[in-house]
C-alpha cells in the first residue's frame, strides 16, 4: 500500500511539473525573464549547425543561379584607398561587373551623402579671392557637370541592372535620402491592418542615385535578444505602403516579378502575416513581422568571394560572373558590417543577404508555422505524461533507459521535421524530460534511502545484515503488514533454568545468558533466520519471512543441530570455568502462520502467530520427556526430508490439540550417518511397527536389544514402560497407538 502511495505521489509530482513548465512555456510570466527564450535560441543554433541539408520544397527548384560576393576587403582598401571610394570608382566597378556578365548587381552598402564636386569646390574658393578670379570660377562652374561623380555613378546605374541598399529605423523619425517606389501589392488593403511593425524613419540613397537604380531594398536586420541574427525581414511597412528588402528586391528583378502578395490570417482582428508571395514563383514563409528564418549554409565562405580590387583590375574570369547575382559588400572590420550569427560569431552582413537569396531560389525554407505552438504543447504533454506516469514504476536503470528513449524519440522527430523545413520547440521539451528524470531519480533515491533506513530500523534487530541488504534492493516487496505464509518456527529453551538462576548471582547469570544468546543468535542469522524474541532463557525464531525462503524447514533444522553442537562446546567451557552445566531443548514446527508487525500503540513487534506456532512451543516441551535435544513436527520432516536423517519418536496428541501428530528427532545431516546408526534406526523402526501392531513380545525384544546397546537413550526405556503398562491393561483392537501427553 505504501509503495502504491509513493508511486501516486511521484506521478502527481510529474504531472505538476509538466503543468508548471507548460505554463512557463506558453504564459511566459514577466519574472521568468528571457532565460527560456535564450535556451530555445541555443537549441535552434545547434540544429542549424548540425543539420546541413534542409530539404527544398521540390528537387526541381534547386538553386541553379550562382550567388557571388564582391568583397571590399582589406586588400581593396590597401590598393584603392579608404572607403567610401569615389563614385567614379564605384561606377567603374559596376561597369566591370556588367562586362563580366553579372545578371543583377546588388549593393549591401548605401550612398546617402553626396560626393564633393572638385570643380565647384575650386570655383567657390576662387570667388572668395577677388574679381580677377571670377572669370575662372565661371568657367569651372560651366564644367561642374563634368566633375559631378554622383551624376557619373547615376549614369552607370541607369545603364545596368543594379539594386541599391538602404536602412529603415523602427524608432528614429529621421528621414535621409529618397525612398524607392513602394512595392506593387496584389492585396494592398491588408497592409494597414497587418501585423507588420510600422517604420518611423529611414536613411536612404541620394535621390539621383535612387531614381537611376533598377531598384532599392533595405538591408536592416533585427538581431534576437542575444544579439544573434537568425531572421531577416523581407518586407517593411512605411506610411501603410510596402517596401522590399535588398534580397527580395534583387530577386524580384532577377525573376522579373512585378508584384507581390501578402499571405495573412485574421487573428484577434489583425491580419497576421504568414508569407510573401512572389507572383508566379513561390510563397516565402515568414513570421508575423514579415521575417524569414535564415537557413545558413555554413560559416563565412559558403559562397564564392571575389575581391573588389580584382574586379577593378579586370582579372576576374567571365565564367565566374556570367549569369550570377552579384552582391557587393564588405568584410573589412573597420566598415562595421560584421554580424553575429548561429554559424559564426563574426559574419559578414553581405553573406546573410546571399543566404537569403540562395534559399529563396532553392525554395529551401525553415518555417515556424502558425500551428507550431499547438504542436509544441502536444509534444510537451505527451513527453511529460510518458515520463510522469511511467518512471515511478521503474527502477533507476530503467528510468534512465526510458528517459533516454523518450528524449531520443523527441530529438530524432524534431530533427526529421527540421530537415523538412519545420521548426518546432526543442529546448523546453528536453528541459521537461531532464527535470522529470532528475526529480524521479532524486525522489526514488530519497524514498529508497528512507525505505532502507526503515527496513534497517524495522528488521535490523530481527534478521542478519545480509538479509537487510537483500531486502533494501527491493524495499517495496517488504513491509510490516500482516500476511499468512507457510513458515518454520523454532523454540529453544535452557533446561532447569530456574535452578540455574538460583545458583548464580544476577550479574553472573546475565553474563552466562549473553554468552549463550550470542552464538545462538549468530547461528540463526547465518541460516537466514529471523529472531522473534528472547523470553528469559528462551529463544524464539522463524524462517521464511520477511525474505521468502523455500528451504525454511531445512534451514531451521540446520540451525538447531548447530545450536546443539555449540551448546556442547559451551558446556566444556563452563565446566573449565566452574560454571553450571547447561542443556537445551529445541522444538521446531512448520505450517501456516500469521506474520507481521503486531502489538499495541505503545509497543509492537514483528512476530508470528497461529496454531502451528503453538505446536512448535509444545514440541520444545517434549524434548525432556523423550530425552532428546531436538523434536520436529511431521510437516517439518516432510519439508526437509531429503537433507537429514530422522528418527520417529512418537505418535502423540499434545495438550490442546485433538489430532495426533507424528514427531521426529533429526539425528544428523544426510550423508553423515554411519552404518551402525542406520542399522540401529532400522531396528528401532521395526520395533516401533511391532509396538503399534500390538505384537508386544516382538516389540519388547526389539526395544530391549536397543536399550542394551544404548542404555543412555531414554526413548527405548519409554517404550518398554509403555509395553508393560499396555500388557497389564490391554487397549483392545481399536487402539491407534497414540500417546496422549497431558503436560505442555
pLDDT at 59: 38
Could you please state the CATH topology (level 3) that the domain comprising 480-670 is classified under: Alpha-Beta Plaits (3.30.70)
Percent of all residues in the chain with a pLDDT value above 70, rounded to a whole number: 88
**pLDDT band with cut points at 50, 70 and 90 for residue 27:** confident
Distance CA 472, CA 455 (A): 7
* pLDDT (mean) for 90-98: 94
What's the mean pLDDT in 161-177? 93
- How many CA atoms within 13 Å lie on the side-chain side of 657? 24
**Rounded alpha-carbon distances, angstroms, from residue 272 to 186, 220, 261, 414:** 17, 21, 13, 25
Instruction: Return the higher-pLDDT residue of 171 and 353.
Output: 353
Q: What mean pLDDT comes out for the span 331-336?
A: 79
Binned at pLDDT 50, 70 and 90, residue 469 comes out as: low
Check whether 95 has a pLDDT greater than 90: yes
pLDDT in tens, 120-129: 555 555 555 5
Looking at residue 688, its pLDDT comes to 93
Element containing residue 492 per DSSP (H, E): strand 483-494
Please, what is the average pLDDT of the chain? 86
SS3 assignment, position 325: strand
Over residues 372-389, mean pLDDT: 91
Record the cell numbers describing residue 539, joined without a space.
529463544
State the DSSP H helix or E strand holding residue 150, giving kind and residue range, or none if neither.
helix 149-158
| Order of strands, sheet of 184-185, starting from the edge strand that comes earlier in the sequence | 184-185, 259-267, 270-278, 282-285
Helices (H), 363-426: 372-388, 396-419
Region 184-195: mean pLDDT is 93
Residue 740 confidence (pLDDT): 80
Separation CA 698–CA 686 (nearest Å): 9
Q: Give CA torsion, residues 173, 178, 183, 184, to 10 deg.
A: 120
Q: What is the mean pLDDT of residues 189-218?
A: 94
What is the pLDDT, as a whole number, of residue 496?
A: 81
Q: What is the pLDDT of residues 636-683, one digit of tens each?
A: 999 987 789 999 999 988 776 778 899 999 999 988 989 999 999 999
Q: Going by DSSP bridges, is the β-strand pair 184-185/259-267 parallel, antiparallel, or unpaired? A: parallel
Look at residue 532 in the predicted model and tell me its pLDDT: 86
Range 308-335 average pLDDT: 90
With cut-offs at 50, 70 and 90, classify the pLDDT of residue 179. very high
Q: pLDDT at position 61, please?
A: 40
Q: Are 275 and 263 in contact (CB under 8 A)?
A: yes
Q: Which residues contact 490 (CB under 8 A, 6 or more apart)?
A: 524, 529, 539, 540, 541, 542, 543, 556, 559, 560, 586, 587, 588, 616
- Quickly count: other Cβ atoms within 10 Å of residue 481's Cβ: 10
* Confidence tier at 1 by pLDDT (50, 70, 90): very low
The pLDDT, as a whole number, for residue 137 is 53
Long-range contacts of 574-577 (CB under 8 A, 24+ apart): 574/512
Can you give the residue ranges of every domain in the chain? 2-52+369-454, 59-362, 480-670, 674-733
Q: Provide the strand spans (E) within 613-688.
A: 630-633, 644-653, 661-669
Q: What is the pLDDT of residue 60?
A: 37
Q: Which residue carries 565566374 as its cell?
A: 320
Higher pLDDT, 3 or 178: 178
pLDDT at 538 over 50: yes
CA separation for the pair 271, 288 (Å, rounded): 9
pLDDT digits (tens, 9 = 90+) for 576-618: 888 888 899 999 999 999 988 777 766 667 789 999 999 999 9
In angstroms, the CA 450 to CA 456 distance is 10
Q: Distance between CA atoms of 67 and 354, rounded to whole angstroms?
A: 6
What is the predicted pLDDT for the residue at 443?
Answer: 77
Percent composition of the chain: helix, strand, coil (DSSP 3-state, to 5): 50, 20, 30
Amino acid at each position: 500500500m505504501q509503495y502504491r502511495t509513493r508511486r501516486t505521489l511521484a506521478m502527481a509530482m510529474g504531472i505538476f511539473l509538466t503543468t508548471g513548465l507548460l505554463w512557463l512555456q506558453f504564459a511566459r510570466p514577466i519574472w521568468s525573464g528571457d532565460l527560456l527564450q535564450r535556451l530555445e535560441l541555443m537549441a535552434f543554433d545547434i540544429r542549424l549547425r548540425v543539420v546541413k541539408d534542409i530539404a527544398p520544397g521540390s528537387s526541381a527548384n534547386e538553386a541553379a543561379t550562382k550567388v557571388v560576393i564582391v568583397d571590399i576587403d582589406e586588400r581593396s582598401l590597401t590598393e584603392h584607398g579608404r572607403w567610401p571610394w569615389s563614385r567614379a570608382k564605384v561606377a567603374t566597378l559596376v561597369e566591370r561587373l556588367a562586362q563580366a556578365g553579372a545578371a543583377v548587381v546588388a549593393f549591401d552598402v548605401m550612398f546617402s551623402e553626396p560626393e564633393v564636386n572638385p570643380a565647384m569646390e575650386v570655383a567657390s574658393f576662387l570667388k572668395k579671392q577677388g574679381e580677377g578670379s571670377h572669370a575662372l570660377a565661371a568657367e569651372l562652374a560651366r564644367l561642374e557637370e563634368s566633375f559631378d561623380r554622383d551624376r557619373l555613378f547615376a549614369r552607370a546605374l541607369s545603364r545596368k541592372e543594379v539594386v541599391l541598399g538602404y536602412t529603415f529605423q523602427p524608432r528614429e523619425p529621421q528621414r535621409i535620402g529618397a525612398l524607392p517606389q513602394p512595392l506593387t501589392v496584389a492585396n494592398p488593403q491588408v497592409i494597414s491592418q497587418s501585423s507588420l511593425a510600422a517604420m518611423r524613419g529611414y536613411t536612404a540613397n541620394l535621390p539621383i542615385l535612387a531614381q537611376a537604380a533598377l531598384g532599392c531594398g533595405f538591408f536592416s536586420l533585427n538581431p534576437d535578444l542575444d544579439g544573434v541574427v537568425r531572421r531577416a525581414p523581407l518586407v517593411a511597412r512605411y506610411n501603410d505602403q510596402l517596401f522590399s528588402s535588398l534580397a527580395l528586391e534583387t530577386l524580384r528583378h532577377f525573376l522579373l516579378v512585378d508584384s507581390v502578395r501578402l499571405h495573412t490570417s485574421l487573428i484577434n482582428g489583425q491580419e497576421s502575416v504568414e508569407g510573401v508571395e512572389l507572383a508566379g514563383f513561390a510563397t516565402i514563409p515568414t513570421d508575423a513581422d514579415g521575417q524569414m528564418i535564415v537557413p545558413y549554409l555554413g560559416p563565412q565562405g559558403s559562397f564564392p568571394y571575389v575581391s573588389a580590387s580584382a574586379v577593378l583590375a579586370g582579372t576576374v574570369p567571365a565564367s565566374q560572373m556570367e549569369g550570377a547575382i552579384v552582391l557587393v559588400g564588405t568584410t573589412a572590420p573597420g566598415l562595421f558590417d560584421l554580424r553575429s550569427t548561429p554559424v559564426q560569431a563574426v559574419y559578414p552582413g553581405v553573406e546573410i543577404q546571399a543566404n537569403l537569396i540562395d534559399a529563396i531560389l532553392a525554395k529551401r525554407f525553415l518555417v515556424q508555422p502558425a500551428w507550431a505552438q499547438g504542436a509544441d504543447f502536444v509534444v510537451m504533454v505527451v513527453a511529460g505524461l510518458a515520463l510522469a506516469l511511467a518512471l515511478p514504476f521503474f527502477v533507476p536503470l530503467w528510468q534512465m533507459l526510458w528517459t533516454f528513449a523518450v528524449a531520443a524519440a523527441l530529438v530524432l522527430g524534431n530533427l526529421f521535421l527540421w530537415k523538412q523545413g519545420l521548426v518546432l520547440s526543442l529546448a523546453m521539451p528536453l528541459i521537461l524530460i531532464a527535470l522529470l528524470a532528475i526529480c524521479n531519480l532524486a525522489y526514488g533515491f530519497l524514498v529508497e534511502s528512507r525505505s532502507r533506513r526503515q527496513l534497517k530500523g524495522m528488521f535490523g534487530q530481527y534478521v542478519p545484515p545480509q538479509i537487510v541488504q537483500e531486502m533494501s534492493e527491493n524495499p517495496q516487496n517488504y513491509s510490516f503488514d500482516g500476511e499468512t505464509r507457510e513458515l518454520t518456527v523454532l523454540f529453544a529453551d535452557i533446561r532447569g533454568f530456574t535452578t540455574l538462576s538460583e545458583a548464580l548471582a544476577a550479574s553472573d547469570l546475565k553474563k552466562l545468558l549473553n554468552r549463550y544468546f550470542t552464538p545462538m543468535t549468530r547461528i540463526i542469522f547465518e541460516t537466514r533466520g529471523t529472531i522473534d524474541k528472547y523470553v528469559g532463557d528462551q529463544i524464539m525464531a522463524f524462517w521464511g519471512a520477511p525474505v521468502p525462503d523455500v528451504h525454511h524447514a531445512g534451514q531451521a533444522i540446520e540451525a538447531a543441530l548447530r545450536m546443539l553442537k555449540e551448546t556442547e562446546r559451551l558446556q566444556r567451557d563452563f565446566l573449565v570455568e566452574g560454571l553450571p552445566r547447561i542443556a537445551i531443548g529445541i522444538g521446531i514446527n512448520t505450517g501456516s502462520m500469521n506474520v507481521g508487525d503486531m502489538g499495541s500503540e505503545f509497543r509492537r513487534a514483528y512476530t508470528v502467530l497461529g496454531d502451528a506456532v503453538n505446536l512448535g512451543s509444545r514440541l520444545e516441551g517434549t524434548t525432556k520427556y523423550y530425552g532428546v535435544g531436538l523434536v520436529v513436527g511431521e510437516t517439518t520432516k516432510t519439508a526437509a526430508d531429503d537433507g537429514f536423517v530422522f528418527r520417529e519418536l512418537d505418535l502423540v496428541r499434545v495438550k490442546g490439540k485433538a489430532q495426533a501428530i507424528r514427531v521426529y528427532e533429526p539425528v544428523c545431516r544426510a550423508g553423515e550417518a554411519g552404518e551402525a546408526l542406520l542399522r540401529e534406526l532400522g531396528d528401532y523402526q521395526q520395533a516401533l511397527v511391532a509396538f503399534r501392531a500390538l505384537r508386544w513380545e516382538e516389540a519388547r525384544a526389539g526395544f530391549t536389544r536397543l536399550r542394551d546397546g544404548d542404555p543412555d537413550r531414554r526413548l527405548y526405556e519409554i517404550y518398554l514402560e509403555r509395553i508393560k503398562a499396555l500388557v497389564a491393561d490391554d487397549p483392545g483392537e481399536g487402539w491407534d497407538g497414540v500417546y496422549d501427553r497431558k503436560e505442555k
